[in-house]
Amino acid sequence: MIVREHFPSDLFSGKTVFVTGGGSGINLGVARNFAALGADVGICGRTESRLESARSELEELGASVSTTVADVRDYDALVDAFDNAREALGPIDVLVCGAAGNFLAPAEEMSANGFKAVVDIDLLGSFNAARAAFEQLRETRGCLLFISAGQASVPHIAQAHCGAAKAGVDNLMRNLALEWGRYGIRSNGIVPGPIEGTEGMKRLGPDDPEARARFTSAIPLARYGTVDDIGQAAVFLASPLAAYVTGALLVVDGGTYLPGSGLLAHRVQRAMAAAGGDE
Ligand code: HXC
Ligand code: NAP
């Protein structure tokens, strides 16, 4: 559910939120939740049609919107995107670094360029965005949000590139919290679990109903997350409710990455059920 029902609808009125990779999926969900609370929104990505379709959704929620085609690997393109947003909407109060790429590839088969592509988009792209937005964030005493992933702390088969990139993102998030706190800039990260209907789950998730049911039953909260679950967490971290929170990683995964969840827990549950205990 979009946050409008839980927060004052003008919480971000007069504020500018910029989301890299904001044209689709989780990042668009984050942008929509800010728009629903009065924010104006800037987004960038590599595909103009995707940005234009996102623009319509965000405008329907009442936001003024700035879109710029920009690859986060291209620092100058980000500078242009943030200049455009500033001119149209005012200086950036919240920067969400969400652009990312991923695919399944065993390390021994992955090309050096494949590894580099993901690190360049996720990690260098996040630094580029934070660095290029710094002057605007300093002016607004704004905040940074980085979209991480469970792969940063829990190794996954065929995810060496993503794990390395997102671990770097988490570390960057903490370094910027340390360095930019003196400018009043907060820096935090969100770790989404498996999120329903996203490109990430299309590429990485279980691909048949039986595997999906097994996977879901191993999640303590027994469901996939929604893009609004992540949007709500983002709104909280950017809001005055989190005014003293910086350098934090907020895990929003229904318990997916808790040690002890997964196949072992599933087996224990079956044993408990067989013994007549609670499932
Ligand atoms: C092996 C692959 C590959 C694949 C690309 N490469 N796809 N290797 N398996 N499936 C290799 C290529 O062969 C090439 O290496 C190198 O990666 C760069 O490929 P390009 O196509 O030139 O890269 P680029 O156009 O920059 O595209 C980046 C991309 C692409 C990451 C490869 O998939 C992309 O744009 N993705 C964006 C959308 C996305 O991934 N969304 C999901 C995010 S989910 P060589 O050696 O041949 O030159 C996420 C975490 C999810 O981030 C967690 C879920 C649980
Ligand atoms: P998605 O829809 O593919 O989102 C990625 C976005 O980034 C796209 O809009 C894409 O648009 C943009 N992008 C990719 N490469 C870019 C580049 N070089 N420059 C600028 N923009 C770029 O996938 P998603 O699954 O929603 O993932 C969104 C975020 O959540 C990512 O940070 C991902 O790591 C994280 N995450 C997802 C899940 C999940 O369950 N899906 C779980 C954990 C973490 P273009 O291709 O048009 O550029």
Q: Write the pLDDT tens digit of every residue in 61-100.
A: 999 999 999 999 999 999 999 999 999 999 999 999 999 9
Beta bridge partners of 149: none
Catalytic residue among 15, 126, 166, 239: 166
Q: Residue 273: its pLDDT value, please?
A: 77
What's the mean per-residue pLDDT of the chain? Answer: 94
Catalytic residue among 24, 66, 126, 148: 148
Residue ranges per structural domain of the chain: 8-276
Q: Looking at ligand 1, which residue's alpha carbon is closest to its atom 34?
A: 101
- DSSP assignment of 44-113 equals EES-HHHHHHHHHHHHHTT--EEEEE--TT-HHHHHHHHHHHHHHH-S-SEEEE---------TTT--HH
Is the CB–ligand 2 distance for residue 165 below 6 Å? Answer: no
Q: Looking at ligand 2, which residue's alpha carbon is closest to its atom 3?
A: 199
Active site residue 148: yes
At 53, which amino acid appears? S
* 205 CA to centre of ligand 2 in angstroms: 15
At 148, which amino acid appears? S
Is the CB–ligand 2 distance for residue 23 below 6 Å? Answer: yes
Q: Residue 195: its pLDDT value, please?
A: 98
Q: Looking at ligand 2, which residue's alpha carbon is closest to its atom 31?
A: 100
Q: Residue 263: its pLDDT value, please?
A: 52
Among 24, 27, 28, 103, which residue has the most ligand 1 atoms within 8 Å of its CB, making it the best to mutate?
103
- What CATH topology corresponds to 8-276? Rossmann fold (3.40.50)
Q: Which two tokens stand for residue 88?
A: 């149209």
Q: What is the pLDDT of residues 18-40, one digit of tens each?
A: 999 999 999 999 999 999 999 99
Active site residue 202: no
Block residue for tokens 């623009």: 55
pLDDT band with cut points at 50, 70 and 90 for residue 279? very low
Asked whether the CA dihedral 110, 116, 119, 122 is positive or negative, the reply is negative
Q: Residue 267: its pLDDT value, please?
A: 57
Q: What is the pLDDT of residues 152-207, one digit of tens each?
A: 999 999 999 999 999 999 999 999 999 999 999 999 999 999 999 999 999 999 98
Contacts of 243 (CB under 8 A, 6+ apart): 186
Q: Pocket residues for ligand 1 (CB within 6 Å)?
A: 100-103, 105, 110-111, 113-114, 117-118, 149, 162, 194, 199-200, 203-204
